[in-house]
Structure 1
């Protein structure tokens, strides 16, 4: 580990959780069930033979086979987006030492949305790469702004101050998004579903564009995991263990912004996935970031895919956008977590 820039000497390495293998097997089974459910459930249920035809017989051009192929790209995209948001939430919580940090709660998603909507209205952007570049810029600037506001005053960046700063910033940026869209009907028509978060329009081109950002974000998150364990003990202890805390926060924050910004650009501001995924894994497995980050990716993929399927079933013959479903589930959980004394710090 000495080759990594965030370390100066031997790192801090907790033991492997005893239940890791069991949790991994259960998550893998749930992931398989989610994939199957996403392929066969919806306003038009798919039979097993229709599923096989759509997956393994490309020459068949029936309606059912085309529905299956469309759902394959949608399922892959929802898995990738859920994994990205799960890791982003875990990294944000670790960097800020705030157990209720999440891209949506801290306003990062809204900042990305503002830049994308502004790009459409004023710069006539139309490609996925342009969406992602603007979303990353908006997410990064918003993250710096919220953390700066939350760090002011006595006590520094406490969980409560960060949440309040994020909520205020998100409200202000949402107003700007609305102000840009209302007089421009073409912008509103183009992104009225995107605003609440959706994976329904996913295609393989979007997945190909999104994949490099996902890989880079995951790699940056993985190389930060061991040092983040030390950071949880406090900056002074982490420095004593050889962690370069400034470089660590920069790398981890960059990974979080890459993941949530790219996701927001293509799927819209889907909220609460990072919060739910990370809290579930921390509750089951403990605080070890070496396992929290990969397991948050898996649980985030599961939660988002389940939410997408539930939106299809609840809204049949249409569908509820996945952002509505995750907000309905996540908002009460956020209230419960915010009321606990344990949210003061990690």
Structure 2
């Protein structure tokens, strides 16, 4: 077998594309660190109120700043935010080493202005900062077949390396019938079935992504093992007859109410003893890193209603839906898989 070089660095370059612009916005638009220096350690809610920030993007910003070592964050103490020495020395007005003017010289970058608006409104900006397609909502743009085909191809390319690692991490699960919710090209389903000779899978996708998925599966000779079921995961009941539901890079596109709705739908539709398999980039439970995931979360915050969810947040949502035996396992490329089981009775 050919030894494949680890492409994690390439994922990180693409996924971090908006991160520097968020720091510029925090420094040049919000003067966040000078504000913190004047107010002392404060709960995140107080910081949001003081600077006029929406909760979701502020959470992403604070995780990123904590991962950079600019603030200290304690989620177990009212999510208290304190200025760290690196931030105090280099990003606060009056410091002899103040770099705010250096960052301010780039404040005219379009993405900086976009991110400042997202921070204040909580509403995502246009995908890839284009403003194309008329509909500024990322999900709405999937109604355009050309855009849907491009996004499906992108997700498929990402999965070529990541999918086998996911499959290896869950090889011990007794999965015989897998529902790949919003599974795009079916690349993850295919990897999971690779060493399950008698397993079957279905990709549950909305139009026109369903058509792109059928084309790809047919071209790979997988149409007899992986069917495509057309449906809207938020509007339609989940198909029955599956003992595992897979969400791969799906929940990070959505806000908490919709993530909880999806988990509840899975709990209802899964067979007793069935598994919820959530594969994604996950923020640590303390919301202070890792840096690569914090950077990717900025892209998601910019362009979708979601973010990279922390392991703790997802575990709590899964438990509220009724799942038990929640476990997290690392996979590859800064990803991991969160597992949760529906009780057998």
- TM-score, length of structure 1 as denominator length: 0.24
- Please state which structure has a larger fraction of its residues in helix: 1
The structure whose RCO (Cα within 8 Å, separation 6+) is larger is 1
